[in-house]
Each structure stands twice: as structure tokens, then as C-alpha cells.
A and B are shown apart, each in its own frame.
Chain A
Amino acid sequence: MLAEVGVLTLGLALATALYAAFAAVLSLRRNDPRWAESARNGVLSTVALLGLALLLLLGAFLTDRFEIRYVANHSSRSLPLYLKASALWGGQEGSLLLWSFLQALFAALALTPPPAPSPLLTKRQERGGGGGEAAGGRVRLWSSLLLNLITAFFTGVTLFLSNPFALMKTVPADGLGLNPLLRHPGMIFHPPALYLGYVGLAVPFAFAMAALIVGEVENWTRTVRRWTLAAWLFLGLGLLLGARWAYDVLGWGGYWGWDPVENAGLMPWLTATALLHGAAMQEERRGFRIWNFLLVSLTFALVLFGTFATRSGMIQSVHAFARSNLGPYFLTAIGLTLVGSLALILRRRHLLEERRPSESLLSREGLFTLAIVLFLVITGSVLVGSLLPTLTEALTGRRFEATPEWFDRVTAPQFAALTLVLALCPVAGRQRLEARRVVPGLVGGAIVAGLAALSGFTRPLSLLGFALVGMALGTALTEIVRDVLARSRREGENPLAALAVLVDRNRRRYGGYIVHLGIALILVGVIGTRMYPLERNLSLTAGEPAQVGRYTLVFEELRQDLLSDRLATWAVLSVYRGDAYWVTLTPRLERYANFDQTVTTPALRAGLREDLYVVLTGWSADGATATFKVFVNPLASFLWLGGLVFLAGGAVAFWPSTAGARLPVPQARRRAIGNTVALVAGLAVLVTAGVAMWGPGHGATSQPSGRPLPGQTAPDFTLTLLDGSTFSLSGQRGTVVVLNFWASWCPPCEEEAPDLQAVWEEYGEKGVTFVGIAYKDEEAAVRDFLTGHGITYPVGLDSTGRIAQLYGITGVPETFVLDGESRVVRFYIGPVTADQLRADLAGLVR
């Protein structure tokens, strides 16, 4: 029943979307505003119907309706509620439905006419505005037509080719569950963020094409600027979350593999970035029109290509949704988009021609052009790389495949050139570059490169990269400081207040600076991780130390826990930096029986300088030996830090400026409410991103102290023995000491007790001291144990576990053998045997 209602809802949504498009055409033809009103109602009905379909599917997930194939394939009874909800977009059918809904929603929002003349208009922009109400209405109608057709396309694909409400032939008792790899906060938010980006980019496309058709080519960028910005931000957020998820979950130590599907997300983001710059220039200089129309069409075509690449199965990729019957439809849509928009641009080219001669190449305008060209060639390179097997086969008959190294080498020089442009942009004047103002950039470059070299990053190419990043930081910071000081002197404000006013008045400019700062930080991370990778495979037996970089890793023990759907195994590793204990890492492996799949959870200790990243990869049957993959990823934290700065900068640019708005009271109030809502939503997105990126701990815990390594001096302590006397380690200088941590309730301790006693009897008279330290135990139980096993060496109670903590004990029994200088000679995790102790003591006692 639910499934039938779902299909019916989808069918109705398709009908209303098509009706809305039809009504828009009628309104255009007959010049009748009533049809326009009807088109708007059609859009709203589509939103409501698709929203209902989404709710129905959500209901199906929450109530375990496994007769629906999509639910059966992506959920199970035992799945936690929030994962059931996120499973909604865990597969192709659901994600397409979400896509259609968002598309309809955005169409509705974008087509709602603004209540007042846009408060974003400054005087300068208004002067050349023109166009008038009628043209604006026609642009809106044409946009409505296009957006509704796009909605109808996605709804149609969902309904006919990828129906989420399709039924199973037989109803299974339980669903298959969500793929364990997808149970990560990054994966819960990553797809919707990407979709919001993709879907949002359809809006500027529709408005641009409508503007071309109507012939009103100047103002569309302003109308959709915030749409472009928001979509671009969400796309960026989606890419960041995807990278973070790969870093956290996949356990290959990396975050970006130049996989065709990753590339498919990156390409529209790059062209959208170019579009943002072009649109800013169009508003500033009334130029760049051809660029912007090309960019907006290309971006939308790449969005379609992204969906095509993920879903067609035509591109060799490890992931992707697998079915291939969608391919031809998406290819057709891409072809229509490109051919249609290019034809339109050609037909309207007389409207688009530049009216003024171009400036110098090193003017602000020239550098923006260079930046756009670079964004385009980078996009082109990535596209060529993604299609390289097909391209080389067509050209040479042989198939070549682009490796990550190929992408790194091809794009790195281009990104470097782009960074140089970014560094010069803030200081470029309208006419030309002022050499004097480049100096701070050079200083910044020298400082950052110098710092990097001092920290040990000395490869020449990386230093060049760091210098470029430093240059970008230097010019931007100098410009900000200069503005702030000028205002502060002029207005007599303190510099902080001056900065606040400046940011508030020039949201886009300062937002841009912050975004560039974020990108610079990300670049630092990219250079560090890509050019200084350190990777080791280790095979360790318990207690054995191994050196990786400046860390010493000691494998302590393996632990296992059988959970309802999986077997979790984790290793406890103590990590030392130099001689000092630093952190305890617990990399995990979780084996999901009914998925036949293992999920690795790397243990990650992030630092500003580098991340230590450990993956548990296997172990011997007795658990005594385990293998690890250890990565040291220099400067990886800068990636995520830069990501957050980037998002914050985008939010600042997105924010409406409060300056210059003199609105009537009701509208001002409405705007205030809107701003508050936007503020809350923006904060929610940032917090979400933060949680998803630094979410639940990644297997790193710190103990107050760690186990002393062999060769290190054992920490001093005093202990009250059962006979009332006091034992202190510092009082034992010159004596060999055996410290045994144990407990009366522990079977392995019983096992080793006779051995300890036997060795004590042999070596006690040779001057060796034995001390038993009963870990968090009851005095009566301890006395019973000692009597029962005939133990005669001194024993004391460590009731609070203070000494155990001092020695980094992970369980009982553990035994330390110390030489006459109280240095650790050896330690044992688990029961020790008499032979082992004899061998150790024989070397120490003559």
C-alpha cells in the first residue's frame, strides 16, 4: 500500500512539474500573469508531492517495510534510527529522489519574487541596472520553464528507471542492512551536501539561459549570486566531508585518490569557482559576459556529467552506483545542455560583446581572466585524466590509464600558477600591478618557506609551493591591515572596530580573503601530505618496540569483543616520542559477518606538525603478533583547518551586508528574521561539518603516564607492604628488582604464582628483591591468595591503582625486571614463567 502511494505521488509530482513548465510557456505566449501564478502553484505542488514521497520512503525505512526492495537492500531491523534515516540516500534510488525533491524546492525558492528591491544593490549597480519589471518577469518565467524541466527530468528518471518504491517478489524477514563503510558521520552528511551543491547550480544555469533568451544579459549574475555562492559552498563542504571520510574510514592513509567519481565532484566545483570570480567581475566592470555564460553552462553540464559518471557504470571506478541503464539518458541531457546553451550564446553574441578595450594582463581584470583560464585548464586536465583510457584508445588504439601520480604531476604546476595569481590579485590595480605593493608578498613567501625549511621540509619543489602560499598570505594580510589602519586613523576607531565595520561593509571582499586564507591552509596540507609521505608496514610481537619517524611504537596486546553483528578486534599500542610516553593508540578492525566485509578504523593522533595514523591489518592466531600499517602524514591537520576557514569565509561572503540598507520597518524586520534563520542554519552547517570531520574519537587516548620502555628508568613509588613496612623503589639502588602487578581474582596470576615463588626462593638470597603489587584488591582476598599459594615475597596493596597507572599497566598480570639502576630490563604482559625470569636474572646477578 505504502509503495503504491509512493509511486502515485511520484507520478503526480512528474505531472505537476510538467504542468508548471507548460503553464510558464502559456504565460509567456499569452502574456497572462494568471498562468504565471498557476505555474508557481505547480512548482509548489511538485515540492509538496516530492516531499511527501520522501517522507513515505523515510516512513518505510523507520517501520522496516522490507517488501520495498530499496529498504530491504539498505536497512535492517537492528540499524540505529539515525542510520535508518541516512540510509534514505545510501543508494541510487533514494539519492535520486532526494535530488528531485531538492531540485523542486530550490526552483520554488528561486522563483519566489523578492518582497522588495534587492537590498544587495548598491548605488553603483543600480545605476546601470535598468531592464524593468516586465523583463524581470519574463526572465523569471523562462527560468521557471527550465527549472521545471530539470525537475521533471530527475523525477522521471527516479520514477521510470530507478524507482525507490519497487517491490520485492518475496518479502524478506530482515533487510540486508547499511554497508558498514557508510556508517560514519562524514558519509551521513556528505551526499546531501554534494546534492545541495549540484542542485543549487541548476538555478544560476536556468537564470542565465533565461536571461539570454530574453536578452537581458547584465543582471542575472546579481540575481543568482547568492545561489551560486551557496551551491558552491555546499559542493565544497561535500568534497571536504568525502575526503575526511576517506581518511577516517578507508584506512589507506590518504584523503583524495583522483578517482573518477571524486573528480566528477571536483570539476563543477572548479568551474563554479571560476564563475563566482567572473560574476564578481561582471558586476564590477560590466565585462566577462561571454565567460560567465560559458562557465554557467559548463558547470551545469559537469554536474550532469558527475551524476552520469557515478551512475552509468561507463567509467572505470571502484565505487559508483553500479547500474548502467541510466547512462544514455544522462548523456542526452548533457548533450542538450551543451549544444542548447552554446547555440543560445552564439545567437545572442551581439549582446555579449565587450564594450571596452581590455586592460593590462597584470591588472585586476587581467588577473581575474588568467584565474578563470587556469580554472578551466585544470578542469580540462582533470577531465582528460578521467577519460584518458577512452581518449588514448580513440587516438592511439592503446588504453592508458591516469594514475594519481599523473594527476599530481599534471595539475600541481597549474595549481601553483593559480596560487601565484591569487597572491597578485589583491595588489593589482585597475590598470596595472604596482611593484611596490608586491613586496609584502615576497616577504610573506620568504617567511613561510623559511619556516617550512626550518621544520625540516626542505625539498626544493615543496619550498616553492610554500613560498607561493606565503606570498598569497602576505599580500592579502597586508591589504587587510592597510585598510584597517587607514580607517582606524580616519575615523578614530580602534583597529578591531574598524575591522568589524570593514568586514560588515564589504562582505564579499573579506569573505573572499578568508576563503583564500582557507585555500592557502589546505594547500599547505596538500604539499605536506603529498610530498613527504612516510609509510611503514610493521609486524610486532607483544612488548616489542618499533621506530617510525620520531615515534616509538610498542604493541601491548590485542583485545576482542563479539558484538551482535560484528567481531571487533583492536590492538593497544603505546606510543613514545623520544623517551617520553605520548599517547595510547587503539586501531580497530571490525568484521561484519553478514556483509563479508571488514571495516578498519584507523587510530589517529593528529598534531599540527603531522598526524600519526595507524591501521591494524592482521594478527597471528594466538594474538601475540600483530601487523600494522603506520603512516606519518605531515601537515594533514591543515587540510581540515583550512576546510573550516574556507567554509567560514564562504559564510561571511554569503551573509547580507547590513550597511546601506534603509528599508521600511516591516521589511527590515522580515530581513532580520531571515538573517537570524540564516545565521542559525549557517552555524548548524559549520558545527555539522566540524563534528563530521573531527567526530567521535579516532582511537587515540592519553594516559597520565605510560609504561617505561626497556632501558628507561622506572618511575619511583612507595608502597605499604602487608607486614606494615614501607617499600620505596629509590631505596633499592644497587639491587635488582622484580615488580609483579597482579590481583587475587585473576586466573593467569594464579598460574604464574608458583613460578614467581620458585624463582624468589632461588634468587632472594642472591640479593634480588621481589615485590608483588596487588592491583585494586581487597586485603583479605590477597592474604587468602598468599597463604593458598605459599607466597613468601613481600606484597603490598595498590588499592587506588596509583602505581599501576604510573607504570602504564593495561591489565594483570604484568611483570617488570629492573636492574640495579632501576632501569627496565624487560617486561612481560601476561603470566611470566620461571624459565623466562631465570634467564633475565642470570644476566643481572653474578
Chain B
Amino acid sequence: MAGKGKFIFAGLLILAAVVYLIVTNTGSTAHYFLTIEELRAMGDRAIGRNLTVSGAVLGDSIVYDPTIPQVTFTIVQVPADPKEVERAGGLAAVLHAAVNDPDAPRLEVVYNNVKPDLLKHESQAIIRGRLGEDGRFYADEVLLKCPSRYQEAVPEQAGEQ
């Protein structure tokens, strides 16, 4: 069946194109996902790269200037591995422990945008951006999750700006 060969060839061609798209875009536009600890361990190599960092928000550190607008805040190391989170008693417990641990690694975040509604003490922040020369993290996007009792009702995109 000559016809079948054609189809298989076309299918493989499409598949190869898609794999190529995925691989190249993963190299260029995907974000390297890190904890604060891992970011610190990278040292200067981390500067300027597309990164995603997660951590617990320190409520007292939030400074918001609505006229620019710019919000700066500090996040604290939390483990990224879901199993580790589970062992430590769930996300809420992990976030609570993190913000009360003075020795945990911290990271100052600068976000030139409007303060997201869900940015508050002990919320989990997932931050996309780049590490600056000054050691501060310049965010393009901040995703937030609150361990509040409303968590289940906070729907799609609620933290996205």
C-alpha cells in the first residue's frame, strides 16, 4: 500500500516538527525552576537567565508604591518537592515554618507592577523573572497561592497579573 507510506511519512514529519518546536522553545522561553537555596548555590551564573523561583512571602517586607507602580517583598526558602512538603505536614505548615525561620535563605523581589491581590503574609509565590546584578530578583510575573481556608475556592488565574 503506497498510500499508507505517504501518511506515515507525513505523520512522522509533523511529529518531528512538533518535537523540534518543543525542544527549541524549552531551551529559549521555558523558565528554569529553582528554589531559593538552589539559586544561591548557582552564584553569579544565575544572573540574567530566565528563572522561576518559589518561596513563602514575608508579610512585613511588602512595600508598595502605587504611583510607579512597584512592589518589593522578600520570599523565604520552601522545598519544591511535593513529597517533602507532604512530610512536613502540608503546604500551609511549610509556609508557616518558613516565614518563622530566621536562618532560611531569603530573596528580595522587585516587581514593577500592581500589587497582586493575593500577595500577603505566608502566601506561596511562584515568581518568573531574572536575578539582577544587585542580588535582587526582578519579576516579570508573580503567581500566588494562599494557604487560607478559601484556597479551594480561589479559582483560575486569581493571582495572575
Q: Taking beta carbons and an 8 Å cutoff, which residues of A are in contact with B?
A: 73-74, 90-92, 176, 178-179, 181-182, 187, 242, 246, 250, 252, 254, 257, 259, 261-262, 313-314, 316, 318-319, 321-324, 357-361, 366, 369-370, 373-374, 377, 380-381, 384, 388-389, 392, 398-403, 405-406, 409-410, 413-414, 417, 537, 539, 595-600, 615, 617-620, 625, 627, 629
B113 to A181, Cβ gap below 8 A? no
A406 to B25, Cβ gap below 8 A? yes
In the complex, A359 Cα to B4 Cα: how many Å? 9
In the complex, A596 Cα to B121 Cα: how many Å? 12
B149 to A176, Cβ gap below 8 A? yes
B90 CB to closest chain A CB (Å) equals 8
B14 to A314, Cβ gap below 8 A? no
Is the C-beta of B21 less than 8 angstroms from some C-beta in chain A?
yes
B52 to chain A: closest residue by CB: A401
A250 to chain B: closest residue by CB: B157
In the complex, A615 Cα to B161 Cα: how many Å? 11
Is the C-beta of B134 less than 8 angstroms from some C-beta in chain A?
no
CB contacts (< 8 Å) of A91 on chain B: these are 152-153
Which residues of chain B in 52-106 are interfacial with respect to chain A, using CB atoms and an 8 Å cutoff?
52, 64, 66-69, 80, 82, 86, 91
B7 to A319, Cβ gap below 8 A? no
Q: Taking beta carbons and an 8 Å cutoff, which residues of B are in contact with A?
A: 1, 3-4, 6-7, 10-11, 14-15, 17-18, 21-22, 25-26, 29-34, 50, 52, 64, 66-69, 80, 82, 86, 91, 113-115, 117-118, 120, 126, 128, 141, 143-145, 149-161
A181 to B1, Cβ gap below 8 A? no
B27 to chain A: closest residue by CB: A400
A257 to B157, Cβ gap below 8 A? yes
CB contacts (< 8 Å) of B120 on chain A: these are 596
A-B pairs with the 6 shortest C-beta distances? A618-B66, A399-B33, A358-B3, A617-B114, A179-B153, A400-B30
CB contacts (< 8 Å) of A313 on chain B: these are 82, 91
B75 CB to closest chain A CB (Å) equals 16
B31 to A627, Cβ gap below 8 A? no
Known: A252-B161, A259-B157, A318-B143. A399 touches B32 (CB 8 A): yes
Number of contacts between A and B (CB, 8 Å)? 178
A627 to B66, Cβ gap below 8 A? yes
CB contacts (< 8 Å) of B15 on chain A: these are 377
CB contacts (< 8 Å) of A370 on chain B: these are 10, 14
Neighbour of A314 across the interface among B30, B82, B115, CB < 8 A: B82
CB contacts (< 8 Å) of A259 on chain B: these are 156-157, 160
A357 CB to closest chain B CB (Å) equals 5
B126 to A321, Cβ gap below 8 A? no
CB contacts (< 8 Å) of A358 on chain B: these are 1, 3-4, 6-7
17 pairs, CB–CB < 8 Å, chain A vs chain B: A92-B152, A250-B158, A318-B126, A322-B151, A322-B152, A357-B3, A381-B18, A388-B26, A388-B30, A392-B26, A400-B30, A406-B25, A410-B25, A615-B114, A617-B114, A618-B67, A620-B66
A74 to B153, Cβ gap below 8 A? yes
A182 to B153, Cβ gap below 8 A? yes
> A370-B14, A596-B120, A597-B150 given. 5 additional CB < 8 A pairs?
A92-B152, A182-B153, A252-B160, A321-B152, A409-B21
Known: A314-B82, A322-B151. A246 touches B157 (CB 8 A): yes
B42 CB to closest chain A CB (Å) equals 11
A401 to B158, Cβ gap below 8 A? no
B18 to A357, Cβ gap below 8 A? no
A187 to B155, Cβ gap below 8 A? yes
Neighbour of A361 across the interface among B10, B32, B34, B157, CB < 8 A: B10
CB contacts (< 8 Å) of B141 on chain A: these are 403
In the complex, A262 Cα to B153 Cα: how many Å? 16
A366 to chain B: closest residue by CB: B7
A256 to chain B: closest residue by CB: B157
CB contacts (< 8 Å) of A90 on chain B: these are 153
A595 to B157, Cβ gap below 8 A? no
B7 to A617, Cβ gap below 8 A? no
B69 to A319, Cβ gap below 8 A? no
A353 CB to closest chain B CB (Å) equals 12
A389 to B29, Cβ gap below 8 A? no
B155 to A319, Cβ gap below 8 A? yes
B7 CB to closest chain A CB (Å) equals 6
A179 to B69, Cβ gap below 8 A? no
CB contacts (< 8 Å) of A261 on chain B: these are 156
Neighbour of A181 across the interface among B152, B155, B161, CB < 8 A: B155
In the complex, A597 Cα to B118 Cα: how many Å? 7
CB contacts (< 8 Å) of B149 on chain A: these are 73, 176
In the complex, A403 Cα to B129 Cα: how many Å? 11
In the complex, A374 Cα to B66 Cα: how many Å? 46
A179 to B80, Cβ gap below 8 A? no
Known: A384-B22, A617-B69, A619-B66. A319 touches B154 (CB 8 A): yes
In the complex, A380 Cα to B115 Cα: how many Å? 35
B31 CB to closest chain A CB (Å) equals 5
Known: A399-B32, A596-B120. A539 touches B68 (CB 8 A): yes
A389 to B33, Cβ gap below 8 A? yes
A401 to B30, Cβ gap below 8 A? yes
A179 to B25, Cβ gap below 8 A? no
In the complex, A389 Cα to B33 Cα: how many Å? 7
CB contacts (< 8 Å) of B117 on chain A: these are 597-600
A391 to chain B: closest residue by CB: B26
In the complex, A406 Cα to B34 Cα: how many Å? 18
Neighbour of B66 across the interface among A182, A324, A357, A617, CB < 8 A: A617
CB contacts (< 8 Å) of A417 on chain B: these are 14
A627 to B67, Cβ gap below 8 A? yes
CB contacts (< 8 Å) of A539 on chain B: these are 66-69
In the complex, A262 Cα to B50 Cα: how many Å? 23
A398 to B128, Cβ gap below 8 A? no
A409 to B29, Cβ gap below 8 A? yes
A359 to B3, Cβ gap below 8 A? yes
B107 CB to closest chain A CB (Å) equals 17
CB contacts (< 8 Å) of B64 on chain A: these are 618
CB contacts (< 8 Å) of A617 on chain B: these are 66, 69, 114-115
A364 CB to closest chain B CB (Å) equals 14
A401 to B7, Cβ gap below 8 A? no
A618 to B7, Cβ gap below 8 A? no
A357 to B1, Cβ gap below 8 A? yes
Neighbour of B11 across the interface among A74, A373, A410, A599, CB < 8 A: A373
A389 CB to closest chain B CB (Å) equals 5
Neighbour of A403 across the interface among B86, B115, B118, B128, CB < 8 A: B128
Neighbour of A402 across the interface among B14, B30, B69, CB < 8 A: B30
Known: A399-B80, A615-B114. A377 touches B18 (CB 8 A): yes
Most chain A CB inside 10 Å of its own CB: which residue of B3, B26, B113, B155: B155
CB contacts (< 8 Å) of A319 on chain B: these are 154-158
B113 to chain A: closest residue by CB: A537
CB contacts (< 8 Å) of B4 on chain A: these are 357-358
A98 CB to closest chain B CB (Å) equals 15
Known: A358-B1, A389-B33, A406-B25. A250 touches B160 (CB 8 A): yes
CB contacts (< 8 Å) of A181 on chain B: these are 154-155, 158
A414 to chain B: closest residue by CB: B18
A549 CB to closest chain B CB (Å) equals 20
B14 to A377, Cβ gap below 8 A? yes
B49 CB to closest chain A CB (Å) equals 11
CB contacts (< 8 Å) of A373 on chain B: these are 10-11, 14
A626 to chain B: closest residue by CB: B66
CB contacts (< 8 Å) of B150 on chain A: these are 176, 179, 595, 597
Neighbour of B154 across the interface among A179, A389, A405, A629, CB < 8 A: A179
A237 CB to closest chain B CB (Å) equals 16
In the complex, A393 Cα to B14 Cα: how many Å? 26
CB contacts (< 8 Å) of A400 on chain B: these are 26, 30-33
Known: A257-B157, A618-B69. A398 touches B32 (CB 8 A): yes
A616 to chain B: closest residue by CB: B114
Neighbour of A410 across the interface among B22, B52, B151, CB < 8 A: B22
CB contacts (< 8 Å) of B10 on chain A: these are 361, 370, 373
In the complex, A344 Cα to B7 Cα: how many Å? 25
In the complex, A537 Cα to B151 Cα: how many Å? 29
